[in-house]
Protein backbone atom coordinates (compact mmCIF):
# COMPACT_ATOMS: atom_id res chain seq x y z
CA UNK A 1 0.00 0.00 0.00
CA UNK A 2 1.63 3.24 -1.17
CA UNK A 3 1.18 6.29 1.02
CA UNK A 4 2.31 9.77 0.06
CA UNK A 5 2.06 13.22 1.63
CA UNK A 6 2.40 15.98 -0.92
CA UNK A 7 0.94 19.32 -1.97
CA UNK A 8 -1.56 19.16 -4.79
CA UNK A 9 -3.96 21.32 -6.78
CA UNK A 10 -7.47 20.05 -7.58
CA UNK A 11 -7.88 20.52 -11.35
CA UNK A 12 -11.08 18.53 -11.91
CA UNK A 13 -13.95 17.22 -9.78
CA UNK A 14 -16.66 14.76 -10.73
CA UNK A 15 -19.54 13.34 -8.74
CA UNK A 16 -19.11 9.73 -7.72
CA UNK A 17 -22.40 8.32 -6.51
CA UNK A 18 -24.45 10.13 -3.87
CA UNK A 19 -21.72 11.30 -1.52
CA UNK A 20 -18.30 10.93 -3.05
CA UNK A 21 -16.16 12.80 -5.56
CA UNK A 22 -13.54 11.66 -8.02
CA UNK A 23 -10.86 14.33 -8.15
CA UNK A 24 -8.02 14.90 -10.57
CA UNK A 25 -5.21 16.38 -8.52
CA UNK A 26 -1.92 17.76 -9.87
CA UNK A 27 0.47 16.60 -7.17
CA UNK A 28 4.05 17.81 -6.76
CA UNK A 29 6.57 15.26 -8.04
CA UNK A 30 3.81 12.77 -9.02
CA UNK A 31 1.95 14.73 -11.70
CA UNK A 32 -1.70 13.90 -12.25
CA UNK A 33 -3.37 11.53 -9.76
CA UNK A 34 -6.96 10.31 -9.59
CA UNK A 35 -8.22 10.65 -6.05
CA UNK A 36 -11.44 9.33 -4.53
CA UNK A 37 -12.77 11.72 -1.89
CA UNK A 38 -15.19 9.73 0.26
CA UNK A 39 -18.11 11.77 1.59
CA UNK A 40 -16.69 14.98 0.07
CA UNK A 41 -20.10 16.19 -1.12
CA UNK A 42 -21.25 16.63 2.46
CA UNK A 43 -20.60 20.04 4.05
CA UNK A 44 -19.74 18.22 7.29
CA UNK A 45 -16.96 16.20 5.64
CA UNK A 46 -13.56 17.03 7.16
CA UNK A 47 -11.90 17.10 3.73
CA UNK A 48 -14.59 19.32 2.21
CA UNK A 49 -12.49 22.52 1.93
CA UNK A 50 -9.57 20.70 0.29
CA UNK A 51 -11.62 18.73 -2.22
CA UNK A 52 -13.11 21.68 -4.14
CA UNK A 53 -11.99 22.59 -7.65
CA UNK A 54 -8.99 25.04 -7.45
CA UNK A 55 -8.11 24.04 -3.85
CA UNK A 56 -4.40 23.76 -3.16
CA UNK A 57 -3.69 21.57 -0.15
CA UNK A 58 -1.34 19.12 1.48
CA UNK A 59 -2.84 15.70 0.91
CA UNK A 60 -2.08 12.45 2.65
CA UNK A 61 -2.97 9.84 0.02
CA UNK A 62 -3.11 6.06 0.07
CA UNK A 63 -3.15 4.01 -3.13
CA UNK A 64 -5.61 1.17 -3.54
CA UNK A 65 -6.08 -0.34 -6.97
CA UNK A 66 -6.06 2.36 -9.64
CA UNK A 67 -7.03 5.21 -7.31
CA UNK A 68 -5.73 7.16 -4.39
CA UNK A 69 -7.85 7.79 -1.30
CA UNK A 70 -7.53 10.77 1.04
CA UNK A 71 -6.17 9.93 4.48
CA UNK A 72 -5.78 13.52 5.61
CA UNK A 73 -5.79 17.01 4.12
CA UNK A 74 -4.64 20.47 5.12
CA UNK A 75 -5.73 23.49 3.07
CA UNK A 76 -2.98 25.83 1.85
CA UNK A 77 -5.03 28.12 -0.46
CA UNK A 78 -8.66 27.99 -1.57
CA UNK A 79 -8.47 30.88 -4.12
CA UNK A 80 -11.68 32.19 -2.65
CA UNK A 81 -11.49 35.40 -4.76
CA UNK A 82 -11.71 33.29 -7.92
CA UNK A 83 -14.87 31.52 -6.78
CA UNK A 84 -16.84 34.71 -6.17
CA UNK A 85 -16.52 36.14 -9.70
CA UNK A 86 -18.07 34.28 -12.63
CA UNK A 87 -15.55 35.58 -15.18
CA UNK A 88 -12.58 34.61 -13.00
CA UNK A 89 -14.21 31.27 -12.26
CA UNK A 90 -14.63 30.49 -15.97
CA UNK A 91 -11.07 31.52 -16.79
CA UNK A 92 -9.72 29.37 -13.94
CA UNK A 93 -11.82 26.43 -15.22
CA UNK A 94 -10.27 26.82 -18.66
CA UNK A 95 -6.81 26.89 -17.08
CA UNK A 96 -7.59 23.65 -15.22
CA UNK A 97 -8.76 22.04 -18.49
CA UNK A 98 -5.56 22.99 -20.31
CA UNK A 99 -3.41 21.77 -17.42
CA UNK A 100 -5.39 18.53 -17.29
CA UNK A 101 -4.84 18.06 -21.02
CA UNK A 102 -1.05 18.47 -20.96
CA UNK A 103 0.03 16.79 -17.71
CA UNK A 104 0.56 13.07 -17.34
CA UNK A 105 0.19 10.52 -14.59
CA UNK A 106 3.33 9.59 -12.71
CA UNK A 107 5.38 12.34 -14.37
CA UNK A 108 6.97 15.21 -12.47
CA UNK A 109 4.92 18.22 -13.63
CA UNK A 110 6.17 20.72 -11.06
CA UNK A 111 6.82 23.48 -13.63
CA UNK A 112 3.20 23.32 -14.73
CA UNK A 113 1.97 23.16 -11.13
CA UNK A 114 3.98 26.30 -10.38
CA UNK A 115 2.59 28.02 -13.48
CA UNK A 116 -0.99 27.14 -12.50
CA UNK A 117 -0.48 28.44 -8.95
CA UNK A 118 1.11 31.69 -10.17
CA UNK A 119 -1.71 32.13 -12.68
CA UNK A 120 -4.43 31.53 -10.07
CA UNK A 121 -2.75 33.97 -7.69
CA UNK A 122 -2.65 36.62 -10.45
CA UNK A 123 -6.33 36.07 -11.28
CA UNK A 124 -7.40 36.13 -7.62
CA UNK A 125 -5.41 39.28 -6.83
CA UNK A 126 -6.07 41.17 -10.11
CA UNK A 127 -2.34 41.48 -10.80
CA UNK A 128 -3.08 42.06 -14.50
CA UNK A 129 -6.20 42.20 -16.72
CA UNK A 130 -7.68 38.71 -17.17
CA UNK A 131 -6.96 38.61 -20.91
CA UNK A 132 -3.32 39.51 -20.29
CA UNK A 133 -3.07 36.65 -17.77
CA UNK A 134 -4.82 34.21 -20.10
CA UNK A 135 -2.62 34.97 -23.11
CA UNK A 136 0.62 34.75 -21.15
CA UNK A 137 -0.54 31.50 -19.55
CA UNK A 138 -1.42 30.03 -22.97
CA UNK A 139 1.99 30.78 -24.44
CA UNK A 140 3.87 29.76 -21.32
CA UNK A 141 2.15 26.39 -20.91
CA UNK A 142 2.81 25.66 -24.59
CA UNK A 143 6.51 26.30 -23.94
CA UNK A 144 6.64 24.11 -20.81
CA UNK A 145 4.76 21.34 -22.62
CA UNK A 146 7.43 21.14 -25.31
CA UNK A 147 5.93 23.41 -27.97
CA UNK A 148 8.27 26.38 -27.57
CA UNK A 149 8.17 28.62 -30.66
CA UNK A 150 11.45 29.91 -32.05
CA UNK A 151 11.02 33.68 -32.02
CA UNK A 152 14.67 34.73 -31.85
CA UNK A 153 15.10 35.60 -35.51
CA UNK A 154 13.73 35.02 -39.01
CA UNK A 155 13.92 31.30 -39.67
CA UNK A 156 15.27 31.95 -43.20
CA UNK A 157 17.82 34.80 -42.96
CA UNK A 158 18.40 35.19 -39.22
CA UNK A 159 17.31 38.83 -39.25
CA UNK A 160 16.13 39.79 -35.76
CA UNK A 161 15.19 43.47 -36.16
CA UNK A 162 12.36 43.40 -38.67
CA UNK A 163 9.48 45.84 -38.05
CA UNK A 164 6.98 43.06 -38.49
CA UNK A 165 7.05 39.30 -38.72
CA UNK A 166 4.97 36.52 -40.20
CA UNK A 167 4.49 33.92 -37.51
CA UNK A 168 3.84 30.36 -38.67
CA UNK A 169 1.42 29.21 -35.97
CA UNK A 170 1.78 25.53 -36.84
CA UNK A 171 5.58 25.27 -36.98
CA UNK A 172 6.21 28.00 -34.40
CA UNK A 173 8.76 29.94 -36.44
CA UNK A 174 8.92 33.51 -37.75
CA UNK A 175 9.69 35.00 -41.16
CA UNK A 176 10.84 38.57 -41.72
CA UNK A 177 9.26 40.86 -44.32
CA UNK A 178 11.88 39.98 -46.93
CA UNK A 179 11.45 36.24 -46.50
CA UNK A 180 7.71 36.06 -46.12
CA UNK A 181 7.20 34.64 -49.61
CA UNK A 182 9.35 31.66 -48.70
CA UNK A 183 6.83 30.82 -46.01
CA UNK A 184 4.44 29.55 -48.60
CA UNK A 185 7.04 27.70 -50.70
CA UNK A 186 9.03 26.32 -47.80
CA UNK A 187 5.97 24.54 -46.54
CA UNK A 188 4.67 23.28 -49.87
CA UNK A 189 4.70 19.79 -48.45
CA UNK A 190 2.70 20.63 -45.40
CA UNK A 191 -0.65 19.06 -44.76
CA UNK A 192 -2.52 22.35 -44.88
CA UNK A 193 -1.51 23.02 -48.44
CA UNK A 194 -2.12 19.39 -49.39
CA UNK A 195 -5.64 19.76 -48.08
CA UNK A 196 -6.00 23.06 -49.93
CA UNK A 197 -6.22 25.05 -46.71
CA UNK A 198 -4.47 28.25 -45.86
CA UNK A 199 -1.85 27.67 -43.22
CA UNK A 200 -2.55 29.71 -40.08
CA UNK A 201 -0.25 32.72 -40.12
CA UNK A 202 -0.23 35.74 -37.83
CA UNK A 203 1.30 39.04 -38.89
CA UNK A 204 2.89 40.48 -35.78
CA UNK A 205 4.59 43.75 -34.93
CA UNK A 206 8.07 43.91 -33.45
CA UNK A 207 6.63 44.75 -30.02
CA UNK A 208 4.19 41.81 -29.99
CA UNK A 209 7.09 39.50 -30.88
CA UNK A 210 9.11 41.14 -28.08
CA UNK A 211 6.29 40.46 -25.59
CA UNK A 212 6.11 36.84 -26.75
CA UNK A 213 9.87 36.45 -26.40
CA UNK A 214 9.55 37.82 -22.89
CA UNK A 215 6.88 35.27 -21.89
CA UNK A 216 8.88 32.41 -23.42
CA UNK A 217 12.07 33.29 -21.56
CA UNK A 218 10.97 34.92 -18.29
CA UNK A 219 11.60 33.43 -14.86
CA UNK A 220 8.59 31.47 -13.60
CA UNK A 221 7.34 34.08 -11.13
CA UNK A 222 7.86 36.99 -13.59
CA UNK A 223 6.06 35.68 -16.67
CA UNK A 224 3.30 38.32 -16.48
CA UNK A 225 5.59 41.32 -16.01
CA UNK A 226 5.49 42.90 -19.44
CA UNK A 227 3.33 45.55 -21.05
CA UNK A 228 2.09 46.39 -24.53
CA UNK A 229 0.44 49.44 -26.08
CA UNK A 230 -3.36 49.21 -25.97
CA UNK A 231 -3.64 48.84 -29.77
CA UNK A 232 -1.33 45.80 -29.75
CA UNK A 233 -3.10 43.81 -27.05
CA UNK A 234 -5.66 42.15 -29.31
CA UNK A 235 -2.96 40.90 -31.66
CA UNK A 236 -1.03 39.45 -28.70
CA UNK A 237 -4.10 37.83 -27.15
CA UNK A 238 -5.16 36.29 -30.45
CA UNK A 239 -1.81 34.82 -31.37
CA UNK A 240 -1.24 33.23 -27.94
CA UNK A 241 -4.65 31.56 -28.03
CA UNK A 242 -4.28 30.36 -31.63
CA UNK A 243 -0.79 29.05 -31.01
CA UNK A 244 -1.77 26.96 -27.99
CA UNK A 245 -4.93 25.53 -29.56
CA UNK A 246 -3.04 24.68 -32.74
CA UNK A 247 -0.27 22.93 -30.85
CA UNK A 248 -2.76 20.94 -28.74
CA UNK A 249 -4.94 20.35 -31.84
CA UNK A 250 -8.14 20.92 -29.91
CA UNK A 251 -10.52 23.51 -28.51
CA UNK A 252 -12.06 23.84 -25.03
CA UNK A 253 -15.72 24.34 -24.09
CA UNK A 254 -14.59 26.21 -21.00
CA UNK A 255 -12.75 28.70 -23.22
CA UNK A 256 -15.77 29.19 -25.46
CA UNK A 257 -17.92 29.77 -22.38
CA UNK A 258 -15.46 32.26 -20.87
CA UNK A 259 -15.33 34.20 -24.14
CA UNK A 260 -19.11 34.54 -24.30
CA UNK A 261 -18.87 36.69 -21.18
CA UNK A 262 -16.15 39.09 -22.30
ZN1 LIG B 1 14.25 36.75 -43.26
CA dist list (Å): 220 to 56, 69, 80, 224: 18, 31, 23, 9
Sheet holding 173-176: strands in order across? 173-176, 164-168, 201-205
Q: Tell me how far the alpha carbon of residue 158 lies from the centroid of ligand 1, in angstroms.
A: 6
Q: Tell me how far the alpha carbon of residue 129 lies from the centroid of ligand 1, in angstroms.
A: 34
Domain assignment present for 106: yes
- Helical residues (DSSP H) of the chain, grouped into ranges: 80-83, 86-102, 110-124, 130-142, 180-186, 191-194, 206-217, 230-248, 253-260
Q: Tell me how far the alpha carbon of residue 209 lies from the centroid of ligand 1, in angstroms.
A: 15
Q: Tell me how far the alpha carbon of residue 141 lies from the centroid of ligand 1, in angstroms.
A: 27
Residue 197 has a pLDDT of 53
Residue 38 has a pLDDT of 92
Determine the structural domain holding residue 150 and report its residue range. Answer: 145-260
Looking at the fold, whether 93 and 153 belong to one and the same domain comes out as no
Which among 105, 133, 161 is the end of a domain?
133
Looking at the fold, whether 59 and 156 belong to one and the same domain comes out as no
Q: Tell me how far the alpha carbon of residue 179 lies from the centroid of ligand 1, in angstroms.
A: 4
Residue 58: give its domain's CATH number: 2.40.50.140
- pTM for the predicted model, two decimal places: 0.94
Residue 177 Rama label (left phi>0; alpha psi -120 to 50; beta): alpha
Domain assignment present for 209: yes
Domain count, the chain: 2
Cβ atoms of 78 and 49 within 8 Å: the answer is yes
Q: Tell me how far the alpha carbon of residue 205 lies from the centroid of ligand 1, in angstroms.
A: 15
Domain assignment present for 108: yes
Looking at the fold, whether 164 and 111 belong to one and the same domain comes out as no
Domain assignment present for 139: no
Which residues, listed in sequence order, are joined to residue 176 by a DSSP beta bridge? Answer: 165
Buried b (16+ CB within 10 A) or exposed e, 46-66: ebbebbbbbbbbebebeeeee
Residue 182 has a pLDDT of 79
Looking at the fold, whether 44 and 165 belong to one and the same domain comes out as no
Looking at the fold, whether 10 and 105 belong to one and the same domain comes out as yes
Residue 249 has a pLDDT of 94
Residue 188 has a pLDDT of 46
Domain assignment present for 235: yes
Which among 107, 133, 159 is the end of a domain?
133
Stretches where the chain sits below pLDDT 50 are: 186, 188
Q: Tell me how far the alpha carbon of residue 155 lies from the centroid of ligand 1, in angstroms.
A: 7
Return d(Cα 225, Cα 210) in angstroms, integer.
Answer: 13
Amino acid sequence: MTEIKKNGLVIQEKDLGENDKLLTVLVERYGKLYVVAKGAKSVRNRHMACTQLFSYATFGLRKRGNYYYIVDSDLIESYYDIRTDILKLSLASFICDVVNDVVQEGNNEDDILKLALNTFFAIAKNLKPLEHIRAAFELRIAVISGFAPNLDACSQCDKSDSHSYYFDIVDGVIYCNNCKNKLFYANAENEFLERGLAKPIAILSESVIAAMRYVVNARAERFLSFSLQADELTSFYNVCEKFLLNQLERGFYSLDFYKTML
